[in-house]
Structure 1
Amino acid sequence: MDFNTSLILPILIALWVVRMLRQFLSLPLRAPRLSRQLDWIWVPGAALLALSFFLKSDLFDEAYLVFVLSVIGLVLLRTQDYRPARTLLLGLAPYALYSLIELLVALVGKTLLKSYDEVFDTSQGFAVIWLFTFGLIARNQKKHLEQERLEREREIEDKRRIEAENSQLERMVAERTATLTRQAQELQHTLDELKTTQDQLIQSEKMASLGELTAGIAHEIQNPLNFVTNFSDVSAELVQELLEEQQRPDRDPDLEAELLNDLKQNLEKIHHHGQRAASIVRGMLEHSRQSTGERQATDLNNLADEYLRLAYHGLRAKNKAFNATINTFFDPAVGSIQAVGQDLGRVLLNLFTNAFYAVQKRQEAQGAGFVPTVSVVTRRTGAGDVEIRVKDNGTGIPEEVQQKIFQPFFTTKPTGEGTGLGLSLSYDIVTKGHSGTIEVESTEGQGTEFIVTLPG
Structure 2
Amino acid sequence: MRFADMGLKAARSDSAVEAIYTAYGLVQKSAVLLEMNQSTQALPFLRQAQRLDDSLHLPMTGRVGEFELEAAWAQYYAARHTYLLAQQHWLKAYQKAKAAHMDVLLPRYLKQLSRFYDAHGQPAEAQRYSRIYLALADTLDAAEGGFHVAQYEGERIEQAKNAQIADLRHEQAIQVLRIKQRNLLLGGAFLIVVLLSGLGVFIYRQLQTNRRTLQQLRQAQNQLVQSEKWAFVGELSAGIAHELQNPLNFMKNFAEVSTKLVDGMGNSPAKEQNSLEQEILTGLRQNLREISEHGLRASAIIKNMLEHSRSGTSQPTLTDLNALAAEATQLAYQGFQTQDSAFKVALKTEYDAQLRPTLASPQDLSRVLINLCTNALQAVRQRQQTAEAGYEPEICVRTVQHNGAVEIRVCDNGTGMPESVQSQIFEPFFTTKAPGEGTGLGLSLSYDIVKKGHGGTINVNSEVGKGTEFIILLPCQ
TM-score in terms of structure 2 length: 0.49
**How far, CA to CA, are the matches of 1:443 and 1:197 in structure 2?**
40
Q: Deviations over 1:216-246 (max 9, x none)?
A: 655533221221111111000111122445x
**How far, CA to CA, are the matches of 2:234 and 2:463 in structure 1?**
30
Out of 426, 444, 453, the residue aligned to residue 424 of structure 1 is 444
Q: Which residue of 2 aligns with 1:220?
A: 243
| Contact 1:287/1:421, CA 8 A, preserved across alignment | yes
SS at match of 2:428: coil
Does 1:238 pair with 2:271? Answer: no
| Contact 1:301/1:335, CA 8 A, preserved across alignment | no
Does 1:323 pair with 2:350? Answer: no
| Contact 2:240/2:302, CA 8 A, preserved across alignment | no
Change (3 A) 1:286 1:314: same
Does 1:266 pair with 2:266? Answer: no
Does 1:411 pair with 2:431? Answer: yes
**How far, CA to CA, are the matches of 2:472 and 2:288 in structure 1?**
43
Give 1:15-414 correspondences, 5 Å limit. 199=232, 214=238, 219-245=242-268, 252-367=273-388, 369-381=390-402, 383-414=403-434
Give 1:438-449 correspondences, 5 Å limit. 438-449=458-469
SS at match of 1:374: strand
Q: Deviations over 1:287-341 (max 9, x none)?
A: 1124432111111000000010111111111111211111110001112100111
**How far, CA to CA, are the matches of 2:304 and 2:441 in structure 1?**
7
Change (3 A) 1:366 1:219: farther
Q: What code does the residue aligned with 1:409 have?
A: F
**How far, CA to CA, are the matches of 1:197 and 1:224 in structure 2?**
26
Change (3 A) 1:359 1:249: closer
SS at match of 1:371: coil
Q: Percent identity?
A: 52
Q: Which residue of 1 aligns with 2:472?
A: 452
SS at match of 2:398: strand
| Contact 2:313/2:453, CA 8 A, preserved across alignment | no
RMSD: 2.3
| Contact 2:380/2:414, CA 8 A, preserved across alignment | yes
| Contact 1:326/1:375, CA 8 A, preserved across alignment | yes
| Contact 2:311/2:445, CA 8 A, preserved across alignment | no
Q: What code does the residue aligned with 2:440 have?
A: G
Q: Deviations over 1:30-59 (max 9, x none)?
A: xxxxxxxxxxxxxxxxxxxxxxxxxxxxxx
Q: Which residue of 2 aligns with 1:99?
A: none
Q: Deviations over 1:147-190 (max 9, x none)?
A: xxxxxxxxxxxxxxxxxxxxxxxxxxxxxxxxxxxxxxxxxxxx
Change (3 A) 1:285 1:425: same
**How far, CA to CA, are the matches of 2:347 and 2:271 in structure 1?**
64
Q: What code does the residue aligned with 1:338 have?
A: L
TM-score in terms of structure 1 length: 0.52
Q: What code does the residue aligned with 1:199 have?
A: F
Q: What code does the residue aligned with 2:274 have?
A: P
1:436 to partner: Cα distance? 0.5
Q: What code does the residue aligned with 1:364 have?
A: Q
| Contact 2:398/2:410, CA 8 A, preserved across alignment | yes
**How far, CA to CA, are the matches of 1:271 and 1:257 in structure 2?**
21
Q: In the comparison of the two structures, how many residue pairs are matched?
A: 249
1:250 to partner: Cα distance? 5.5
Higher relative contact order (CA 8 A, sep 6+): 1
**How far, CA to CA, are the matches of 1:276 and 1:356 in structure 2?**
21
SS at match of 2:385: helix
**How far, CA to CA, are the matches of 1:452 and 1:443 in structure 2?**
18
**How far, CA to CA, are the matches of 1:296 and 1:405 in structure 2?**
29
Q: Deviations over 1:190-232 (max 9, x none)?
A: xxxxxx9961685xxxxxxx9xx94x65553322122111111
Unaligned stretches of 5+ in structure 2? 1-228
